[in-house]
Structure 1
Amino acid sequence: RNACLDASVSDFVAFIDDDETASPGWLVELMATADATGAAAVLGPVRAHYRQDAPDWMQKGDFHSTLPVWVRGEIRTGYTCNVLLRTTDASLRGRRFSLARGQTGGEDTEFFDAMVKAGGRIAFAPQAFVDEVVPRARAAFDWLRRRRFRFGQTHGHLIGHGAGGIRRAGQVGLASAKAAYCFGMAVLTAISPVRRNRSVLRGIMHVGVVSGLVGVREIRQYGLTSPEQGNKRAA
């Protein structure tokens, strides 16, 4: 991705992952939203397609599709599995992805977090779909567990960066409370595999936030010899 940004002489650069297929109107939809909003980055949705042998609860809950997260009406971080970047925007000039996160992941989150803090806006093009088949190695609870935990670690490191001791302690308490709530909801919804697993995974993410806030090193997800990484780069 950094090589693409270094080589590009265009005003816009679009990224998708190498295991995704763009829909016919994908780029048109991204550009239309960029023109309408003037945003520095435009995200599109990723539609996951499951193999027949994927767990039923996973298919029903659609745990692998990707959508942006809205916080008080704004998108504050993004992903490169479906995005258009306005490279001329001041918040993106000279910005590159962190090579230090090559084996942990999280470089997307860090990149867009810094972009937004520099004044860049992120918009969403709901019809700019790309499609992705979920391989067997990723259609497992353990893969989701590791990924959500690392998501939380990255978020914890970002919100804890430069924070004072009192603020950091407050964030640890908040994330711990959220984790406890999610695990409690998992118990209350144990009869529903979709709701139970969604709550457990969200609780694991908040445990990851605590881990990141207290400075625990992020887990490696890529460059491993086991199949659990699923041959997939994602941040």
Structure 2
Amino acid sequence: MAAGLRVDIAVCTFRRPELAETLRSLAAIIVPDGTAIRIIVADNDLQPSAEGLVDALRSEIPFGIDYVHCPASNISIARNACLDNASGDYLAFVDDDETVARDWLVRLLETASATGAEAVLGPVRAEYDLSAPSWMRRGDFHSTRPVWVGGEVITGYTCNVLLDRKTPALAGRRFNLALGRTGGEDTEFFTHMYKAGGRLAYASDALVYEIVPEKRASFQWLAKRRFRSGQTHGRLLAQASAGSGKAVEIVRATAKSGFCAVAILILLASPVARSRYALRAVMHAGVVSGLFGVRELEQYGTSEVAAP
């Protein structure tokens, strides 16, 4: 890693007090020699509700913090504000309810240097408390890792990623505002980046941690999330297909959902496997929905966030 490197770390936030722990974990990261760090906090609330929290923590953070108010209730607006305000060689994204390992940034930068990839993803490890169902804790349904297709990662996420701002595949690229309340804006962003020649690598040891709150520790929450994810995938398939190609994709996704439904019956005695196939069935049903052009479920700016 070259000396004189500049890295911006972006955190988009909306009424989450957990932001304080996110920033404190960033304050404790190991920084490679000669690397300058700056944090960008993009507040997506209608009012600048996170500004006081950020100002109160400035004395604890050894890096500069730029607070950006970018209303309202549309995550794409916040992510684009981070892109617009970034000036470093690299831009990393983490969520406002996560904490990072001390060597998190070092591992991302090492992988970026070794691979030359335009984007480096790291894992998000879910942390459950004892109130979560045992099948959920055993199956680890909330952790996030990339999906490999034919030995490649062809899309990504923003909960743990490092972007090389110098790459042509990212030049001028922005998150889709139309997806800023449904989610899936990051899947679309990285899918198009990949199609433009951008490569995605994986740093398996660049760990980020996320505590699973009680409201997310349910099959219903997971099912809604997987269905919306399927909708996004289906919409992207529809964009890439035409005529009979779209019909083939609908048949394929329907068959996959049906196969998973049969597997659920076979695996009734195994809660982890049964739930995994049930969520896959829901996801493939979402793909069918997306292929038919059904509007994606809204996740941001609704019940997912806390009341003011």
Shorter-chain TM-score category?
over 0.9
Q: Aligned partners of 2:139 and 2:198: how far apart in 1?
A: 32
Query: 2:126 maps to which residue?
Result: 48
How big is each residue's C-alpha offset from its partner over 1:140-176, in whole Å with a ceiling of 9 and x where there is no partner? 1100010000000000000111521100000000001
What residue in structure 1 maps to residue 235 of structure 2? 157
Identify which of 19, 29, 35 aligns with 2:107: 29
The reply on whether 1:84 has 2:139 as its aligned counterpart is no
Kindly indicate whether the alpha-carbon contact (under 8 Å) linking 1:138 and 1:230 is maintained by their aligned counterparts in 2: no
What is residue 270 of structure 2 aligned with on the other side?
A: 192
In 2, the alpha carbon distance for the partners of 1:8 and 1:215 equals 34
Matched-pair contact (CA < 8 Å) for 1:137–1:230: no
Q: Letter of the aligned partner of 2:118 in structure 1?
A: A
What is the CA-CA distance between 1:98 and the residue it aligns to? 1.2
Across the two proteins, how many residue pairs are aligned to each other? 228
SS at match of 2:96: coil
In structure 2, stretches of 5+ residues that fail to align are: 1-78
Q: Secondary structure at the match of 1:31?
A: helix
Deviation at 1:125, TM superposition (A): 0.2
CA distance in 2 between counterparts of 1:116 and 1:147 reads 23
If asked which structure has higher relative contact order (CA below 8 Å, sep 6+), I would say: 1
Cα distance in 2 for residues equivalent to 1:126 and 1:39? 15
CA distance in 1, matches of 2:218, 2:241: 36
1:216 to 294, 301, 306: 294
Are the counterparts in 2 of residues 44 and 83 from structure 1 also a CA contact under 8 Å?
Answer: yes
Q: Out of 151, 154, 171, which is 1:93 matched to?
A: 171
1:69 aligns with 2:147: yes
Superposition misfits of 4+ residues, deviation over 4 angstroms: none
Instruction: Give the 3 Å change call, closer, same or farther, for CA 139–230 of structure 1 in structure 2.
Output: farther
Q: 1:172 corresponds to which letter in structure 2? A: I
* C-alpha deviation, 1:51, in angstroms: 1.5
State TM-score, norm by structure 1: 0.95
Amino acid at match of 1:14: A
TM-score (norm 2): 0.73
Distance in structure 2 (CA, Å) of the matches to 1:171 and 1:34: 35
In structure 2, how many angstroms separate the alpha carbons of the residues matched to 1:155 and 1:121?
A: 19
Larger Rg: 2
Match in the other structure for 1:171: 249
Q: CA deviation at 1:102?
A: 1.5
User: For the aligned residues, what is the CA RMSD?
Assistant: 0.9
Contact kept in structure 2, 1:21 and 1:130, CA below 8 Å: yes
Gaps of 5+ in 1: none
